[in-house]
Chain A
Amino acid sequence: MIRDALHIARKDLRIEWRTRVTAYQVIPFAVVIIVLFGFALGPDPQRLEPAAPGVFWLAVLLASVLGVQRSVAIELREGAIDGLRLAGFDPAGIFLGKLCALSGQLVILEVLLGVVTAIVFQVSLASFWLLIVATLVATLGIVAVGLLYGVLLASSRVRETLLPLLFFPVIAPVLIAGTKTWQAAIAKHASTGLGWLELLVAFGVVYCCIGIVSFGPLMEDA
């Protein structure tokens, strides 16, 4: 399973390296959202600073939909998904591999976006260990749910419109917990963010487990 996951992750990252869709399209899109939120909230630093964590996570969630759609779309072209199944890959390995590849891309996006948000919203970041751990765990949860729904909708013709409607309500807890941990870290009260970190871990574990178990049957339908 682990070896399959590594193969798939390497394949997905190589595709990204050659096409640069995340780098040239998804990351700039996330930056645009941050700037637009700046316009919507106004230039007052006293309003911008408390809103920064929430805006950051909203931009990540919106960008992650694009990432998920892209990650699923590359398997649907020219029967790639059937090829993977015929090649004897373990479905759980495929799920984990895609999870790692997409999470890796999102983490790079989050680092860049974090810097942009800190500059544009005039926030001084602190408690870096909490920021990093919370962001990593939250990303795994987001991507696990996204991939589950992405492959669930793979065979349907309305997947672009239906995915956000199914995806966003489910990851609402990640938005809340992610925002709270960032607020705690920025306010240098890292201890108040620990409860939220636990919630992020629980969310990530639950949905990764569901993904590992149900990816096989879902792939058969895709």
Chain B
Amino acid sequence: MHRFGQAHSRADQIQRSLGLSALVGMVATIWLGLFITPPDQFMGDLVRLIYIHPPLAWVAFIAYGMNFLASLAYLWPRTRDLRWDQLAGASAEVGVLFTGLTLVTGSIWGRPAWGTWWTWDPLLTTTALLFVLYLGYLALRRVPDDQELRARRSAIAALIAFIDVPIVYFAVLWWKSLHQAPTVLNPTTHKTYIHGSMAWTLLLGFVAFTLTYAWMVMIRYRLGAIETRALKTQISSALRDRQLEGSHE
């Protein structure tokens, strides 16, 4: 009991320091991004979205990578453990959230920069498909069933989805390149001189968002563990009650 308590408090400590550093990183990114870095010569204040949009997409990819690795670890007989399944689920949930945010921020940037909320650009299209692929995965995870069965089913579904991502990307890339001239990206973006403070802010954005990801996954993972424990306790207490009822009769 004592050891369990110790482990618990250590996890609490890690979670708290992760949360704190994520918060500090976020505040610093916002402050640098909004007030310190200069506006772009061509795009003006719109360029400030660059401090959050790429980091959001980066976190989404990390999340799906982690989901894939955790699912593999669950399927591998030597490392089979329900904790991998919980990690896979937690990571996918955060991944879907960040993919959604990537799409939204991309759209907000696309409207003034490209003149449209949406374009069938390969990266955009792949991201949108990723979003629906993993929405399906999360829906599958919500189907109530025996825990081990659900874990195995989810792990295989995660493999099917993850393997599809490069195929989708290449299909969409060729589809565009054969279909019409490349999307008219704002040519200035390629020429924009990245100011020193802009580069640092972007780098800080990556770190801050990665920390936020780790913090969110940790909370979700621990919440999942608590849910499982609560379910088991409920079942065993219900069994005990039933036995007591039997002994009274």
Contacts and interface: CB of A to CB of B under 8 A. Distances in A.
Given A156-B143, A169-B132, A177 B149 contact: no
Contact of A170 (B135, B161, B172): B161
A210 B163 contact: yes
A145 B163 CA distance: 12
B108 interface: no
B171 A169 contact: no
Contacts of B157: 149, 152, 166
Given A162-B143, A176-B172, A176-B175, A152 B156 contact: yes
A148 to B, nearest CB: 6
Interface in A108-141: none
A165 B168 contact: no
A25 interface: no
A105 interface: no
Interface residues of B, number: 28
Interface residues of A, number: 32
Contacts, number: 80
B156 A173 contact: no
Contact of B175 (A156, A158, A180, A203): A180
B171 A172 contact: yes
A202 B167 contact: yes
B145 A155 contact: yes
Given A148-B160, A176-B171, A203-B167, A166 B153 contact: no
A131 to B, nearest CB: 18
B179 to A, nearest CB: 9
B42 interface: no
B129 interface: yes
A69 interface: no
Q: Which 6 A-B pairs have the closest CB atoms?
A: A173-B171, A166-B136, A169-B133, A165-B136, A176-B171, A169-B132
21 contacts: A145-B160, A149-B157, A156-B145, A157-B143, A158-B143, A162-B140, A165-B139, A166-B140, A170-B160, A172-B129, A172-B171, A173-B171, A176-B171, A176-B172, A176-B175, A199-B171, A203-B167, A206-B163, A210-B159, A214-B156, A221-B149
Interface of B: 129, 132-133, 135-137, 139-140, 143, 145, 149, 152-153, 156-157, 159-161, 163-164, 167-168, 170-172, 174-175, 178
